[in-house]
């Protein structure tokens, strides 16, 4: 049932445990395990307590209104998340504290205090207003990891416009789909961004996307690399620096209803079409604030660095909103971990004296392969807490991280969550939880998780099943933008009034959660979320392709890699040139993150008698395993032939 069951046994043999180091425990914000019981007794009161720590123009009348699958949190409350992330900190000496520490890949860097951030956000917010952006409008942001990215998000939130950030690694086509889906009025981009020493031509991609994005009226362009000075379109494009010039340095924050739209973030699901996950204001703010505070144990003098890209949800919640709502110092890095050398991350930790580091297992595995010498060159002694996110972390990588980056003194919090959940739902509390490498440990207080079988029965300890969340939580998605039917069908139709995560999981005798991977057609490639269906649609869009089926193949570094099985049209030969053309086609349609590692050409795809492609068998072929049950196939010879041709190479 759970597809990746091959890895369960290995995980469950993991029996090393790591109690919170005494020194860490003594200073931890949360030390009393009774928080779990308190939250269980009265989850609404538990969340409301966090909400009370934030600023509301008008307090809520009701904490939760739950009419499954629709939840409203902090009903009747009026607030503004930008106000809470910026203005709230100006009342104390925090105003002069570093809010954002940014480092560019070439080595340039900037520090914004909370007061600086306030000015920049207000000026840009006024700039957006001058372009006609109003409360309720959508703004697409397609930027590299530059300070203007969080500034633009906060400015949108300030004036009540919803942002839709599109990862800078996505192609023009992918950008166009997302812009059109939400009918954005303004697009914010840059002339380029630096990645591994070269320039990513964002403005070029943006321009390509714009033939076919009629809703976009204005394009704001950040000058980062100096690569588009001659490409500005008169009347449509405006430089960021020209737009903010002379704008007033204050801008009143819009009083947003708790349930007003905050942002849309597109993510991959089980079809070829990405879905716009809808997050609203009050609940999302409380969820991001509470989890950042407790899981990252944030203190006034922390220097917190999350290495994600803001184009993904991790960056939204744990570079921008969570840390800033807490008044923390958040570090942001533009480029790649191996530029100019493989010690770049450790150089950054040392340079800014980072105390908390949050990254993905795929990065940790890469650092492991590069060897201990790179981290050893730097003083990492300021670090006190480490985090992991985005995919299951294998125990070896966990222990390596703990030892070589954390010096054996930093708890490692493995945090499970999704774009849809808005904030972390399963994680250790580092001052309380005894850690087990490879386990995300326990649901956050107030989160009611369970593992169910096909019939909706709890499976009991040690058994694999589907991870579900039984009660609403503040930062949960509210809808899929423009597609409420898909929202209901995708998340709420498997079990009554219960959120279906599409992850497999298992709880051990000690109540620890072990995540086992997706049970749908979503794969995680270097912790990036991709749908195999999306890659298939991109492939069949090529005129040489008759049919395609994609799978995620286990990959030592990336976690999973995209592998495509392709049937070409009559008369087209599967040459290396065609293979390259198809790989490039996927890059053009989606972005390089979706580029297939391998393409296997086949005369036919293995299908059931009802015509369903059996991806499970394709995975067996790609991973060199014995074929699973083939009795439901229309023609078992198809997969036998594939196995013979490709399967035995392993
Ligand atoms: C996977 C990323 C195991 C999971 C925040 C989930 C994880 C998907 C973990 C969501 C983890 C995320 N352990 N698996 N700690 N964190 N996942 O939307 O399959 O990009 O459903 O959100 O990533 O990916 P998304």
DSSP string, 250-309: --PPP-EETTSEEEEEEE--SSSS-EEEEEEHHHHHHHHHHHHHHHTT--TT-EEEE-S-
Cα separation, 301 vs 327, whole angstroms: 10
| Residue 3 banded pLDDT, cuts 50, 70, 90 | very low
What's the mean per-residue pLDDT of the chain?
Answer: 96
Tell me: pLDDT of 298 over 80: yes
Determine the distance separating the centroid of ligand 1 and the alpha carbon of 229, expressed in angstroms.
39
Binned at pLDDT 50, 70 and 90, residue 457 comes out as: very high
Q: What are the beta bridge partners of residue 71?
A: 66
**pLDDT band (50, 70, 90) for residue 11:** low
Q: Quick one: DSSP state of residue 232?
A: P
- Both tokens of 135, joined, read 């409360």
Span from the CA of 424 to the centroid of ligand 1 (angstroms):
10
Under the banding of pLDDT at 50, 70 and 90, the label for residue 362 is very high
Taking only Cα atoms into account, the Rg of the chain, rounded to an integer number of angstroms, comes to 24
Nearest to 392 by CA among 559, 639, 547: 559
Confidence of residue 13 (pLDDT cuts 50, 70, 90): low
**For residues 524 and 554, is the Cβ–Cβ distance under 8 A?**
no
Q: Higher pLDDT residue, 644 or 217?
A: 217
- 500, pLDDT greater than 70: yes
Q: What b/e readout covers 454-478, taking b as 16+ CB neighbours within 10 angstroms?
A: eeeeebeeeebbbbbbebbbbbbbb
Cα gap 433→430, rounded to integer Å: 6
Q: Are 320 and 90 in contact (CB under 8 A)?
A: no
- Say what the pLDDT of residue 107 is: 97
| Residue of 315, 416, 422, 552 with the most ligand 1 atoms within 8 Å of its CB, for mutation | 416
Q: What's residue 2's pLDDT? A: 39
pLDDT range class, residue 650, cuts 50, 70, 90: very low
The secondary structure of 389-452 as a DSSP string is: ESSPPPHHHHHHIIIIITTTTS-EEEEB--TTT-S--B---TTTPPB-TT--BSBPTT--EEEE
- Between the alpha carbon of residue 304 and those of residues 81, 211, 357, 385, 415, the distances in Å are 20, 40, 6, 9, 16
pTM of this prediction? 0.96
Where does ligand 1 bind, in terms of residues with CB under 6 Å? 267, 312-314, 389-392, 414-419, 440, 503, 515, 518, 524, 529
- Whole-number Å distance, alpha carbon 431 to ligand 1 midpoint, is 23
Q: Tens digits of per-residue pLDDT, 226-266? A: 988 899 999 999 999 999 999 999 999 999 999 999 999 99
Q: 547-558, pLDDT tens digit by residue?
A: 999 999 999 999
pLDDT of residue 404: 98
Q: Indicate which residue's Cα is closest to atom 5 of ligand 1.
A: 418
Q: Which residues contact 625 (CB under 8 A, 6 or more apart)?
A: 619
Report pLDDT digits (tens) over 537-576.
Answer: 999 999 999 999 999 999 999 999 999 999 999 999 999 9
Q: Which domains does the chain have, with CATH numbers?
A: 5-82+280-473+486-507 (3.40.50.12780), 109-257 (3.40.50.980), 528-646 (3.30.300.30)
b/e burial code for range 22-35 (CB count within 10 A of at least 16 → b): eebeeebebeeeeb
**pLDDT > 90 in the chain, percent:** 95
- Element housing 116 (H / E): helix 114-130
Instruction: Name the least confident of 8-17, 125-134, 346-355, 585-594.
Output: 8-17
Cα(416) to centroid(ligand 1), Å: 6
Say how many Å lie between the CA of residue 46 and the centre of ligand 1. 25
pLDDT at 647: 73
Residue of 310, 390, 419 best suited for mutating to test ligand 1, as the one with most atoms within 8 Å of CB: 390
- pLDDT in the model for residue 272: 83
E strand intervals along 10-150:
62-67, 70-75, 78-79, 98-103, 109-113, 138-142
- Residue 317 per-residue DSSP state: I
- Residue 271 has a pLDDT of 84
CB 459 within 8 A of CB 436: no
**Given this model, what pLDDT does residue 6 score?**
43
pLDDT of residue 424: 99
> Residue 391 C-alpha to ligand 1 middle, in angstroms?
5
Distance of CA 494 to the CA centre of its chain: 24
What angle, 0 to 180 degrees and rounded to 10, lies between the N-to-C axes of helices 636-646 and 615-622? 20
Residue at token pair 């207003």: 129
Confidence of residue 149 (pLDDT cuts 50, 70, 90): very high
Name the more confident of 258 and 11.
258
Measuring CA to CA, which residue among 178, 235, 170 is closest to residue 200? 170
Nearest CA to 140 among 209, 238, 70? 209
């Amino acid at each position: 049932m759970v597809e990746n069951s091959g890895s369960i046994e290995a995980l469950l043999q993991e029996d090393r445990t790591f109690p919170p180091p005494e020194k860490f425990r003594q200073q931890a914000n949360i030390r009393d395990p009774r928080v779990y019981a308190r939250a269980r007794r009265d989850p609404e009161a538990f969340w409301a307590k966090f909400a009370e720590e934030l600023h509301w123009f008008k307090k809520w009348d009701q904490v939760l209104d739950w009419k499954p699958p629709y939840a409203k949190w902090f009903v009747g409350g009026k607030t503004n998340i930008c106000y809470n992330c910026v203005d709230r900190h100006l009342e104390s000496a925090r105003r002069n504290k570093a809010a954002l520490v940014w480092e560019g890949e070439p080595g340039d860097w900037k520090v914004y205090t909370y007061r600086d951030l306030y000015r920049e956000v207000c000026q840009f917010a006024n700039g957006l207003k001058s372009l006609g952006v109003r409360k309720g409008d959508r703004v697409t942001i397609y930027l590299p990891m530059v300070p203007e990215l969080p500034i633009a998000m906060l400015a949108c939130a300030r004036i009540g416009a919803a942002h839709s950030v599109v990862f800078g690694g996505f192609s023009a086509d992918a950008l166009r789909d997302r812009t059109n889906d939400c009918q954005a009025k303004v697009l914010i981009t840059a002339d380029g961004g630096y990645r591994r020493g070269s320039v990513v031509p964002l403005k070029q991609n943006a321009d390509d996307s714009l033939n076919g994005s009629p809703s976009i009226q204005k394009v704001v362009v950040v000058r980062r690399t100096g690569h588009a000075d001659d490409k500005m379109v008169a009347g449509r494009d405006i430089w960021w620096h020209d737009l903010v010039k002379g704008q007033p340095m204050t801008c009143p924050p819009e009083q947003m209803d708790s349930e007003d739209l905050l942002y849309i973030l597109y993510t991959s699901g089980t079809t070829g079409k990405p879905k716009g996950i809808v997050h609203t204001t009050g609940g999302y703010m409380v969820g991001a604030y509470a989890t950042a505070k407790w899981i990252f144990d944030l203190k006034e003098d922390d220097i917190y660095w999350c290495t994600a890209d803001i184009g993904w949800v991790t960056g939204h919640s744990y570079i921008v909103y969570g840390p800033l709502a807490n008044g923390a110092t958040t570090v942001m890095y533009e480029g790649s971990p191996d530029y100019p050398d493989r010690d770049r991350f450790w150089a950054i930790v040392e340079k800014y004296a980072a105390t908390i580091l949050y990254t993905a297992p795929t990065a940790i595995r890469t650092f492991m392969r590069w060897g201990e010498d790179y981290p050893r060159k730097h003083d990492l002694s300021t670090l006190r807490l480490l985090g992991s996110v985005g995919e299951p972390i294998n125990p070896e990588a966990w222990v390596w991280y703990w030892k070589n980056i954390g010096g054996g003194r930093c708890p490692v919090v493995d945090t499970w969550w999704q774009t849809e959940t808005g904030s972390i739902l399963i994680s250790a509390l580092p001052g309380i939880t005894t850690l087990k490498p490879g386990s995300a440990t326990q649901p956050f207080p107030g989160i009611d998780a369970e593992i169910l079988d096909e019939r909706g029965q709890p499976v009991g300890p040690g058994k694999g099943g589907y991870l579900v969340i039984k009660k609403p939580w503040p930062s949960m998605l509210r809808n899929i933008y423009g597609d409420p039917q898909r929202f209901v069908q995708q998340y709420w139709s498997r079990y009554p009034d219960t959120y279906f995560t599409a992850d497999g999981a298992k709880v051990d005798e000690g109540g620890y959660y072990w995540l086992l991977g997706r049970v749908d057609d979503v794969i995680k490639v270097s912790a990036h979320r991709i749908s195999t269906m999306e890659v298939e649609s991109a492939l069949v869009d090529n005129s040489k392709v008759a049919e395609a089926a994609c799978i995620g193949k286990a990959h030592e570094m990336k976690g999973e890699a995209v592998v495509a099985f392709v049937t070409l049209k009559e008369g087209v030969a599967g040459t290396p040139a065609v293979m390259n053309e198809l790989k490039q086609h996927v890059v053009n349609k989606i972005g390089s993150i979706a580029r297939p590692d391998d393409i296997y050409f086949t005369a036919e795809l293995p299908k059931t008698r009802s015509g369903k492609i059996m991806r499970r068998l394709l995975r067996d072929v790609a991973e060199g395993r014995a074929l699973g049950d083939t009795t439901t196939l229309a023609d078992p010879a198809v997969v036998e032939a594939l196995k013979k041709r490709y399967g035995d190479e392993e």
